[in-house]
Amino acid sequence: MKTKKIIVLILILAILTLGCSNKSKNISKSGLNNSTVANVLPQKIMGMQKFVALKGKTALEFVKKSHIGPIKFVKDIALVHYLSNESMMVVWITEYPSEKIAKNQTELMVKGMKKFGSVWEYVNKTELDGINAYYVPGKNHYFFCVGKYMIYLIPINMNKTQVAKFTEELIRAIG
C-alpha cells in the first residue's frame, strides 16, 4: 500500500511539471534564503504527520517548472505533505507581502488556468468549511487564500468532507 501511495505522489508531481514553462518575473528573494513559511503549518492535522518536502528557493524553482506565466511577489513558499496510513494531503503554501496581493494572485491563477485550458479550464468556485475556494475537478485540487497566504491542496485518498475538515484545522492553525 505504501508503494502505491509513493507512485501516486510521483505521478502527481510529474504531471504538475510536464509541459510547463520556466518563465517568471518579479520574484522577491527576501525570505527565500531563510524560509520559514512551513512553520505556519501545524505538525499534525487530522492525525496526519507533517513532512516538509521543499521550501524557499528550492520550492520556488519547483513551482516555476509547473507554471506558465509569471510568478510574482512571492515572499516565501513551501511544499508540505501530511501523511497517514490511509491518505495524504500535499499542501503548497505561498506567503505574499499582503492579503490584497495574495487575493489578487489567487484570482490571476484562476484566469491563467482557464486560459491554459485542458482540465484546468474547468476550475470553479466551491466552499470548504465556509471558506471560498477554487476546485479543479479534473485534478481534484483545491486552492484559496487566507490572509497573506495562498494554500493549494492536493488530496490523495480523501473525500470532500475530509478535505473540508482538513481545511478547517489548517485555517484554525494559521489564525
pLDDT tens per residue across span 37-72: 999 999 999 999 999 999 999 999 998 887 777 789
So what's the pLDDT on residue 26? Answer: 40
Contacts of 61 (CB under 8 A, 6+ apart): none
Give the chain's mean pLDDT.
84
Residue 31 confidence class, pLDDT cut points 50, 70, 90: low
The residue among 27, 28, 37 whose CA lies nearest residue 147 is 37
- Work out the percent of the chain whose per-residue pLDDT is above 70: 82
Ranked by mean pLDDT, the top range of 22-31, 94-103, 107-116 is 94-103
Range of the domain at 43: 2-174
Question: How many distinct structural domains can be found in the chain?
Answer: 1
Q: What is the pLDDT at residue 171?
A: 94
| DSSP at 45 | E
